[in-house]
Amino acid sequence: MAATTNLLFQTPSTKPLKFSPTPFSINPILPFKPKPVFSTRLTSIQTRIPRAVISTSQPKTHQFEHCFEKSEDGYLYCEGIKVEEVMEVVEKRPFYLYSKPQITRNVVAYKDALEGLNSIIGYAIKANNNLKVLEHLQKLGCGAVLVSGNELKLALRAGFDPTRCVFNGNGKILDDLVLAAQEGVFVNIDSEFDLENIVAAARIAGKKVNVLLRINPDVDPQVHPYVATGNKNSKFGIRNEKLQWFLDAVKAHPNELKLVGAHCHLGSTITKVDIFRDAAVLMVNYIDEIRSQGFEIDYLNIGGGLGIDYYHTGAILPTPRDLIDTVRELVLSRSLNLIIEPGRSLIANTCCFVNRVTGVKTNGTKNFIVIDGSMAELIRPSLYGAYQHIELVSPSPSNAEISTFDVVGPVCESADFLGKDRELPTPTKGAGLVVHDAGAYCMSMASTYNLKMRPPEYWVEDDGSVSKIRHGETFEDHLRLFEGL
């Protein structure tokens, strides 16, 4: 550890750059083939079960496609399987339900978009850290983007190639950086002390680290401030006026650091690809200047952040191809390898959070649907005021009154809501209700507040069966944390 005491860095110059665990078993839950209730359809992912034709009321200009869809009979299906039938055979508690084929389709969309480019699809593990999901993404050819040593350990457990992994973060600790150095992971330099810690880790590991400079381009992504990461007020990245100091510092450590690229990350839920183009123009200009100083820069990492249609309105949003085509010529013009870091756009729309209605109540001015799920299992609406589409899984009685409800859970917080002001048929007790697009930043952010234990997870397999891919936590799991104390 003596190496860390020898790293003394001067205050950065303000001179601006002038530039031209044990794997869970997969137990089949529903090995059935659903009975077709209407005509079949073909999909790009061929399976051995019939698929349902889905009737939608989306605008003709954009056919809304989703692995969870309402059929003509009023039931919600996932890849041709009734969600209600899944509810009947799994644990009677809130749970997450995924479509494995949809995960594949989302990855294929990126791979097709990247054709002709040398690239790495770095899945952002922070979005969803389910081991079985990670193993599937790894088999599809993805790399991984990490923000902690534990995420790196999980990526290795899932089989990811560490040389196709990127370690991000504004507060990386020394022990985690040592592991990253040992494994050959790309590491982003985020600050002066981060650079110092990376140098120390390289010396401890006895290996040179491939590093990228995370530059804050000060581009407004026009998203919620909590998920904006590339503007001047963000805690992430290096300000461009300090960039020359970092280049000099890297040059001063040729035995520890090899600068191979530049990185930026603008934010999340981005719906305008021109924002990526603006950032890429700035980044390739920085790369030109960095190369002029003798560095062999091979990688441009443009981060992730592509948004999805959480509202289910049929809005025409940018696709992976739209994103890649926006930066393609810039990447090719500099003969760069492109790294992208999708999380939400790979996994969010593959999953819904399934709940049961506990009851309906009114306080005289507001109507409430109370469900067994809560902000403990899915916090995005409470944390960001995020909208996620909500619907019932089966048709309501013909005499059910349609009203405006807040959908809330049992947690002792007024912030415990999954959706506000939703127009829904008045549900019966025990009815199924889902929160859509719950694959990203939902289960990975779940807590045990009020001792609501984290829920189980299931997915629909390619062959139409349903398997458990994560055990639900129990009260006994909680007590085990105190054994022997």
Active site residues: 412
Q: Are 126 and 341 in contact (CB under 8 A)?
A: no
Residue 274 and residue 312 in contact, taking contact as beta carbons nearer than 8 Å:
no
355 contacts: CB under 8 Å, gap ≥ 6: 94, 371, 372, 373, 418, 432, 433, 434, 435
Dist. CA 123–CA 346, nearest whole Å = 8
Among residues 168, 180, 161, the alpha carbon closest in space to that of 120 is found at 161
